[in-house]
Amino acid sequence: MDSIHIRRAQPRDAEAIANFNQAIARETENKELISDVILAGVNALLSNPAYGFYIVAETDAKVVACLMITTEWSDWRNGLFWWVQSVFVSPEYRRRGIYRSMYSFIRELANNEPNVCGFRLYVEQNNTRAQATYTALGMSQSPYYIFEELKADIDYLDERPTRS
């Protein structure tokens, strides 16, 4: 394997990131995302830094992983939490330290931003491998549960039957 290069994503990475997001949904929740919606969502974030940013990992001359950072203002801490989201490493590149390298990269970015107070992420309850990875990097489980409500007109899942 060539060396790992971590960088902020560029518009040219949108299709790869959208494909990774579709793979995440399939792998972790057995859901199919609407291709046009996810690609538009990726492009919207890439063109609007106020929404957040992506980083990608390149090796073997191709993008093999990504993660997204969005922000949450904490009035209690007078700072921003960076939410780590949409983490994906191509299956053939897993267990090679790529996520660790990406996390180190965002940690370094955050250390250069005085208004960032920490990191948060959510993980599927049954994804024990990911939980072990996050713990090994110094993260700990918070005492909070995540609740959500989507507006009724939000359409992001492809409801067509999948082939077996």
What confidence tens digit (pLDDT) does each residue in 48-81 have? 999 999 999 998 889 999 999 999 999 999 999 9
Pairing mode, strands 62-74 and 53-59: antiparallel
| CA 5/CA 26 separation, integer angstroms | 26
pLDDT at 161 over 80: no
- Of 77, 68, 76, 70, which Cα lies nearest the Cα of 117? 77
Which among 99, 62, 63 has a CA at the least distance from the CA of 84? Answer: 99
Domain residues for the domain of 98 are 5-136
Confidence band, pLDDT 50/70/90 cuts, at residue 152: confident
Q: Which residue has the higher pLDDT, 104 or 139?
A: 104
Say which CATH number the domain at 66 has.
3.40.630.30
pLDDT confidence band for 19 (50 / 70 / 90): very high
If DSSP states are collapsed to H, E and C, what string results for 35-68? HHHHHHHHHHHHHCHHHCEEEEEEECCEEEEEEE
Residue 138 confidence (pLDDT): 85
- Residue 95 domain flag: yes
- Do the domain assignments include residue 156? no
63 within domain boundaries: yes
Q: Is the pLDDT of residue 118 over 90?
A: yes
Q: Residue 53, Cα to own-chain centre: how many angstroms?
A: 10
The verdict on residue 54 lying in a domain is yes
According to DSSP, residue 12 is labeled G
Whether 20 is in a domain gets the answer: yes
Structural domain total, the chain: 1
Q: Which two tokens stand for residue 29?
A: 């929740």
Separation CA 97–CA 85 (nearest Å): 18
